[in-house]
């Protein structure tokens, strides 16, 4: 009986190992709480009873996966307990061990980070805390033998934890290959040297740029919009333009107040004129005056100028809002495009994984004489044809990130992590007619165009004022003194005061005033035409956005269950294929159907959110 039972035992162990690896992969992708036993069984192509044969429930499976993933830590604890190793060698072993483990299990960093982010009340979080406490206790025992002060020992432990977290983040974002193989030794040497010779605090300062640069910047949709509004050049320039027009208002108000000026003049005759003709002149002459003038009436030009400056200021405010809303819309749509590229990359990863799993199944059947070599070659071609699609999807994702960074004013090498999903809501637009009035009332570019028309209307009044008299009041206090040498004293000086009104009446200017007035009227007409054209264009934009939103919402509704249906169909086809009831063509068709369903669903999500951003912009929200 034993020879018969031995293969079953090995097969059971292999199945258990496959279950643990699949559970780890899914937990790395979605987090422990989001993974279901149904999803694991579907991914493996086995029935739930088989899954429950090995693990009585999900908690037991997750705990077993955690234990499996932390075996290397127990082995490491025994290794670093060797007293022949120096502290630097022990820390280097810790770092090297973790890097080697991530190389063997590439999905483990994602899973570990998901566990760190899981609820504190969960079983996994409790196991992770217990493991961390045990590891720190073991490390403290090692450091006590090194005779480090307690504070220095705690600093070393914190630095080791920070480096391990950095390893996981870097491996998740760029792969384990991005970590230099010499990095464990360099960091271990830096930590030990810092602790012994630079009081550990300096080592933290030396390590902090490395660790800070490693952590990608978490970026929500609202955070991306806020960053763009702060850094985007269009918005910044609009804000500066608004300040300019605010200053112009102050400038025009200055013409309302009295104008005060003072002047002083000293002159000396270097060659005196003929006294018989001009009289006797002293060599030095001193004059001075204090002058005040006030505009009394200028045909309404002053009041109109102030009004125009205020309109300019209000119009610049609308220009700023227009720029802000346009940038916000662009950021949202690019953000959603990057999310789509990321989702499509995930679809292609799953397609490649399925193709490789199917190849493994066919290879196993080929070894048993069930499948032909032609079937195996066909599936290898299927794998090869799927790999370029994944590469292209990943490249599109990276390009999308660069475009988003450019829009946010970030360095192209800055690390960002988009934390929001397609969470724009699932609203279906209502009736179109009320939306027209909403858009015309809220759109800042429409209000700005109204201000433009009002400006040209006031410009007509400004130019027409050139036909009217100009009346102003003035007063002047004057000083005059002259003396042959020195400064004049009484009676060589005198004061005088004058005051009066000044009236200027334009009689003839060659028709220039009338020409400028007619030009202003024509410009007012053009502005009015532009306003009506903008109103029509806004209605068109609202209509197009409304239609896109309606279509995308309906498409998303219809695609909601397609992915799950396609996944079930694939799982059933895989079972039939293994039992010889379905062919390789059926298997690849089912895989292609799942890929297409996921693609259409992701595209519908993107289109719905992008259309939502476009409709909000069109409505002035």
The pLDDT of residue 449 is 86
Tell me the pLDDT band of 201, cut-offs 50, 70 and 90. Answer: very low
Cα 101 from Cα 109, distance rounded (Å): 10
Measured in whole angstroms, the distance separating CA 67 from the mean position of its chain's CA atoms is 38
**In whole angstroms, how far apart are CA 401 and each of 190, 411, 436?**
34, 11, 35
Q: Which residues contact 229 (CB under 8 A, 6 or more apart)?
A: 235, 324, 327, 328
Pick from 17, 118, 15, 125: nearest CA to 71: 17
* Cβ-based neighbour number of residue 564 at 10 Å: 12
Q: Is 417 helix (H, G, I), strand (E, B) or coil?
A: strand
Tell me the pLDDT band of 163, cut-offs 50, 70 and 90. Answer: confident
Cα 126 from Cα 128, distance rounded (Å): 5
Pick from 354, 355, 338, 499: nearest CA to 405: 338
* Cβ-based neighbour number of residue 22 at 10 Å: 22
State the DSSP string of 481-516: EEESSS---TTSEEEEEEEEEEEE-----TTHHHHH
Considering 185-194, 201-210, 223-232, 585-594, the range whose residues carry the highest mean pLDDT is 585-594
Strands across the sheet with 259-268, in order?
Answer: 259-268, 284-297, 470-483, 493-504
Cα 496 from Cα 476, distance rounded (Å): 8
Q: Is 538 within 8 Å of 439 (Cβ atoms)?
A: yes
Pick from 204, 181, 179: nearest CA to 191: 204
**In whole angstroms, how far apart are CA 216 and each of 162, 170, 213, 412, 517?**
14, 9, 7, 13, 61
The residue written with tokens 């258990």 in the block is 16
Bridge partners for 284 per DSSP: 268, 483
Q: Is 260 helix (H, G, I), strand (E, B) or coil?
A: strand
Give mean pLDDT, residues 439-449: 86
The pLDDT of residue 20 is 77
**What is the residue-averaged pLDDT of the chain?**
78
The pLDDT of residue 54 is 79
The residue written with tokens 């002035």 in the block is 620
- Work out the percent of the chain whose per-residue pLDDT is above 90: 4
Tokens of 91: 């820390």
Measured in whole angstroms, the distance separating CA 265 from the mean position of its chain's CA atoms is 64
Residue 277 DSSP class: H
Q: Is 192 helix (H, G, I), strand (E, B) or coil?
A: helix
Give mean pLDDT, residues 540-557: 86
CB crowding 127-152: b at 16 or more within 10 Å, else e: bbeeeeeebeebbeebbeeeebeeeb
Cα 44 from Cα 18, distance rounded (Å): 8
Cα 342 from Cα 348, distance rounded (Å): 10
pLDDT tens, residue by residue, 307-323: 777 787 777 788 888 88
Q: Is 242 helix (H, G, I), strand (E, B) or coil?
A: helix
Give mean pLDDT, residues 517-536: 87
Helices 2-30, 58-69: crossing angle, 10 deg rounding: 90
Tell me the pLDDT band of 111, cut-offs 50, 70 and 90. Answer: low
- Between 28-32, 100-104, 608-612, the lowest mean confidence (pLDDT) is in 28-32
Query: Is the confidence at residue 140, as pLDDT, over 90?
Result: no
- Between 38-47, 106-115, 279-288, the lowest mean confidence (pLDDT) is in 106-115
Residue 466 DSSP class: G
The pLDDT of residue 496 is 92
The pLDDT of residue 262 is 94
Tokens of 170: 């870097």
Q: Is 431 helix (H, G, I), strand (E, B) or coil?
A: coil
Cα 320 from Cα 323, distance rounded (Å): 5
Total length of the chain? 621
Cα 69 from Cα 221, distance rounded (Å): 34
Three-point CA angle 593, 342, 106, nearest 5° = 95
Q: Which residues contact 428 (CB under 8 A, 6 or more apart)?
A: 549, 550, 553
Pick from 25, 23, 31: nearest CA to 62: 23
Pick from 187, 189, 193, 194: nearest CA to 211: 187
Pick from 25, 188, 225, 33: nearest CA to 118: 33
User: Which secondary structure element, helix H or strand E, spans residue 263, and what is its range?
Assistant: strand 259-268
- More confident position, 25 or 396: 396
Q: Is 586 within 8 Å of 576 (Cβ atoms)?
A: yes
Query: Is the confidence at residue 252, as pLDDT, over 50?
Result: yes
- Between 100-104, 271-275, 320-324, the lowest mean confidence (pLDDT) is in 100-104
Query: Is the confidence at residue 80, as pLDDT, over 80?
Result: no
Q: Which residues contact 512 (CB under 8 A, 6 or more apart)?
A: none
Bridge partners for 470 per DSSP: 504
The pLDDT of residue 230 is 78
- Between 212-226, 380-394, 462-476, 599-613, the lowest mean confidence (pLDDT) is in 212-226
State the DSSP string of 84-104: TS-HHHHHHHHHHHHHHHHHH
Tell me the pLDDT band of 385, cut-offs 50, 70 and 90. Answer: confident
Q: Is 589 within 8 Å of 378 (Cβ atoms)?
A: no
Bridge partners for 94 per DSSP: none
User: Which secondary structure element, helix H or strand E, spans residue 178, and what is its range?
Assistant: none
Cα 391 from Cα 6, distance rounded (Å): 43
Q: Is 304 within 8 Å of 462 (Cβ atoms)?
A: yes
Q: Which residues contact 62 (CB under 8 A, 6 or more apart)?
A: 23, 27, 32, 123, 124
Residue 534 DSSP class: H
Cα 601 from Cα 340, distance rounded (Å): 10
The pLDDT of residue 447 is 86
The residue written with tokens 């949202």 in the block is 332
Full-model pTM: 0.55
Q: Is 313 within 8 Å of 248 (Cβ atoms)?
A: yes
């Amino acid at each position: 009986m034993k020879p018969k039972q031995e293969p079953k035992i090995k097969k059971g162990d292999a199945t258990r190992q496959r279950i643990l690896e699949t559970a780890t992969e899914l937990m790395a992708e979605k987090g422990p709480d989001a993974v279901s036993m149904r999803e694991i069984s579907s991914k493996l192509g086995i029935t739930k009873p088989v899954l429950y044969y090995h693990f009585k429930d999900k908690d037991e499976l997750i705990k077993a996966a955690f234990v499996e993933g932390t075996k290397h830590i127990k082995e490491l604890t025994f290794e670093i307990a060797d007293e022949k190793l120096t502290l630097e060698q022990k820390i280097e072993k810790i770092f090297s061990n973790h890097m080697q483990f991530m190389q063997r299990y590439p999905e483990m960093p994602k899973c570990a980070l998901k566990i760190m982010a899981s609820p504190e009340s969960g079983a996994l979080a409790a196991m992770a805390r217990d493991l961390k406490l045990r590891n720190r206790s073991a490390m403290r025992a090692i450091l006590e033998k090194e005779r480090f002060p307690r504070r220095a020992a705690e600093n070393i432990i914190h630095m080791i934890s920070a480096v391990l977290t950095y390893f996981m983040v870097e491996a998740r974002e760029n792969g384990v290959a991005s970590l230099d193989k010499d990095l464990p030794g360099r960091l271990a040497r830096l930590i030990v040297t810092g602790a012994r010779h630079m009081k550990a605090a300096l080592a933290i300062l030396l390590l902090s740029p490395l660790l800070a640069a490693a952590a990608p910047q978490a970026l929500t949709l609202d955070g991306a919009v806020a960053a763009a509004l702060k850094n985007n050049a269009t918005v910044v320039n609009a804000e500066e333009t608004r300040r300019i027009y605010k200053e112009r208002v102050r400038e025009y108000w200055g013409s309302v107040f009295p104008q005060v000026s003072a002047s002083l003049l000293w002159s000396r005759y270097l060659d005196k004129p003929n006294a018989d003709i001009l009289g006797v002149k002293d060599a030095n002459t001193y004059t001075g005056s204090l002058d005040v003038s006030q505009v009394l009436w200028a045909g309404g030009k002053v009041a109109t100028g102030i009004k125009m400056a205020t309109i300019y200021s209000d119009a610049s405010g609308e220009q700023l809002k227009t720029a802000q809303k346009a940038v916000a819309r662009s950021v949202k749509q690019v953000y959603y495009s990057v999310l789509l590229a990321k989702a499509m990359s995930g679809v292609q990863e799953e397609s490649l994984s399925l193709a490789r799993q199917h190849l493994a199944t066919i290879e196993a059947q080929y070894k048993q004489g069930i499948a032909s070599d032609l079937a195996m070659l066909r599936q290898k071609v299927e794998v090869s044809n799927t790999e370029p699609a994944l590469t292209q999807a990943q490249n599109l994702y990276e390009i999308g990130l660069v475009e988003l960074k450019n829009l946010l004013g970030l360095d192209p090498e800055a690390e960002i992590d988009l934390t929001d999903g397609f969470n724009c809501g699932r609203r279906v637009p209502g009736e179109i007619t009320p939306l027209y009035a909403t858009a015309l009332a809220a759109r800042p570019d429409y209000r700005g165009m109204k201000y433009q028309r009002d400006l040209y209307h006031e410009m007509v009044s400004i130019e027409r004022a050139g036909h009217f008299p100009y009346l102003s009041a003035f007063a002047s206090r004057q000083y005059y003194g002259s003396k042959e040498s020195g400064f004049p004293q009484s009676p060589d000086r005198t004061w005088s005061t004058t005051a009066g009104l000044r009236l200027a009446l334009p009689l003839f200017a060659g028709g220039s005033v009338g020409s400028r007035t007619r030009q202003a009227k024509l410009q007012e007409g053009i502005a009015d035409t532009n306003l009506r054209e903008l109103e029509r264009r806004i209605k068109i934009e609202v209509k197009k956005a409304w239609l896109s939103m309606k279509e995308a919402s309906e498409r998303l509704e219809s695609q909601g269950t397609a992915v799950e249906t396609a996944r079930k169909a694939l799982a059933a086809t895989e079972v039939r294929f293994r039992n010889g009831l379905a062919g390789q063509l059926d298997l690849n068709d089912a895989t292609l159907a799942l890929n297409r369903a996921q693609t259409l669903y992701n595209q519908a999500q993107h289109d719905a959110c992008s259309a939502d951003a476009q409709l909000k912009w069109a409505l002035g929200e």
